[in-house]
Chain A
Amino acid sequence: MIAVLSQMAVVLFLAPLITGFSRTFKARLQTRRGPGILQPYRDIFKLLRKGMVIPETASWIFSATPYVLFVSTLLAGLLIPTISAKAPLSIFGGVLAVVYLLALGRFFLALGGLDTGSSFGGLGSSREMTISAIAEPALMLAIFTVAIGAGSTNLSIMAEAGLGQSWRFLAPQQMLAFAALFIVLMAETGRIPVDNPATHLELTMIHEAMILEYSGPYLALIEWSAAMKQLVLMTLLVNVFFPFGLSSGWVAQSVLLSLGVFVAKLLGLAIVVSLVETANAKMRLFRVPELLAVAFVLSAMALISTFLF
């Protein structure tokens, strides 16, 4: 019970911090001052107290979407090992459950975008689905590569297997899978070569187009879920590939230590993501499948080399 609650707290309250940190760091790289690191918390708090405008054409799906998205993302967050190798709900499912919980949230978000009947919502939904249809196989293959090495698709067992071999991430299949997952991370969290979360330009926006009609507490829930989804995917990268410093049980002392290591690893990954974002230009939408095809081939190569290297 304590495990569930503390991991829930970590997923809920660390996620906006990572988002805020990467925004501030990116601003500094572009020699802007940028908002403070705590800005996402302030945004969420402010939005939760505001009133809402619900379009007249919207059905129940429009109101259900924020809740479904929030709960499914939070559940996915409880299935992955964050501060302890034993994820609190890991008996309920492994990595497939995580991937499909995220897919459930995305499905409802796309429906919510379509539901109001505005042309932007439909545009955003169709783009989001196009991208995720190619990103998802790459994600699955990359994760399977690691799962074969560990002999299980259960993320806790995968993290524990990684704890045993310290130089494992130098193996070629691990590196290839990591590279593929990194591209998937950029695509799924709407980072620059794929999507630019900072603009509302109709030619380029993907995620923002879907949630254009949302306001107030619903928007807060969606923004929060987006931050949590980013945290879940980043955790997948850092804890499955570099599990060192992860506590193997739920003893208070080692969990606190592993929380520190976890935050440090996440911030490190956020710095790398921001650097990649700053160094690249936004891709044309029709070029995005090329990037994702690279991710897919990388993870397919990782899977091949698992059997042959």
Chain B
Amino acid sequence: MNFWQDPQFGDRMITMMAALVLVLQIMMVAQRGLVTNIRAFGVQSFLLACIGVTIAYFNHAPHIYAAAALTLVFKAILLPLILERLVAKIEIRQEIEPFINIPISVLVSGLLTLLAYVVAESFHRPDEARGAASLGHNTLAVAIALFLIGFFMMINRRKALTQVLGLLCLENGILLAAISLTYGMPLIVEIGIFFDVLVAALLLAILIFRIRETFDSMDVSRLSRLKG
């Protein structure tokens, strides 16, 4: 059988890339460098676009190509650029200070991954699946893990900018779940989500800038205190 048309091969590639996405997510939890974190997010989005292309190719769903291209342009290139420029502009300390120390954060992420697998297991129906549906099961677990760990990152971090990164990871998880489960939502929905995220990131960037102007810090726990 031709190598490039073997769905088994596609299945394997997707599983492998999904595992890499998960590794990058754990790396983001374990890393302290802010810029490294942003770049890891960029690479993660790039891998996500690759997964999209692979699914589009093996399931003959041309509109996922568009979604993958949008992911590549907005999330792998544009958003990291915007965030990196923001980091350069507000001259913050380039170190993330989580509430929980890093080894325990990493262990918590591991536990969340386990939870994600347990949840995804209940969606697994091998008897009624077509050839490609097992692919949904594997990537769904990773998608739920991304979602949970993204949430955890948002809770665990002090600085507004790093919380935005958590939000973006969470959104990556939703995208992965969408393309792996349904083989893509209608294109118009995808475009809507992308612009939504882009605008949200831009607005948050401006908001972070304002927080920093007003409070001389990005620490969101200071927002609960009255000023003046």
A-B contact count (CB 8 A): 57
* Closest residue on chain B to residue A167 by CB atoms: B12
On whether the beta carbons of A294 and B27 are closer than 8 Å, the reply is yes
On whether the beta carbons of B106 and A309 are closer than 8 Å, the reply is no
Chain B contributes a number of interface residues (CB within 8 A of A) equal to 24
* Closest residue on chain A to residue B15 by CB atoms: A172
On whether the beta carbons of B103 and A179 are closer than 8 Å, the reply is no
Is B23 in contact with chain A by the CB < 8 A criterion?
A: yes
On whether the beta carbons of A301 and B106 are closer than 8 Å, the reply is no
On whether the beta carbons of B117 and A176 are closer than 8 Å, the reply is no
On whether the beta carbons of B26 and A309 are closer than 8 Å, the reply is no
On whether the beta carbons of A297 and B16 are closer than 8 Å, the reply is no
On whether the beta carbons of B16 and A290 are closer than 8 Å, the reply is no
Chain A contributes a number of interface residues (CB within 8 A of B) equal to 21
Bound Cα distance A309, B110 (Å)? 16
On whether the beta carbons of B26 and A294 are closer than 8 Å, the reply is yes
On whether the beta carbons of A172 and B16 are closer than 8 Å, the reply is yes
Q: How far is the CB of B88 from chain A (nearest CB, A)?
A: 22
Given contacts A297-B26, A297-B106, A301-B110, contact A170 B121 (CB under 8 A): no
On whether the beta carbons of A170 and B30 are closer than 8 Å, the reply is no
On whether the beta carbons of B12 and A170 are closer than 8 Å, the reply is yes
A172-B138, A305-B19, A305-B117 known; 20 new pairs, CB 8 Å cut-off, are A171-B12, A171-B16, A172-B15, A172-B16, A172-B19, A175-B16, A175-B19, A176-B19, A293-B102, A294-B27, A294-B106, A297-B109, A298-B26, A301-B22, A301-B113, A304-B113, A304-B114, A304-B117, A308-B141, A309-B138
Residue contacts A-B, CB under 8 angstroms, 11 given:
A167-B12, A172-B18, A175-B19, A176-B19, A289-B103, A291-B30, A293-B30, A297-B26, A297-B110, A305-B19, A309-B138
Chain B residues packing against A (C-beta within 8 Å): 12, 15-16, 18-20, 22-23, 26-27, 30, 102-103, 106-107, 109-110, 113-114, 117, 120-121, 138, 141
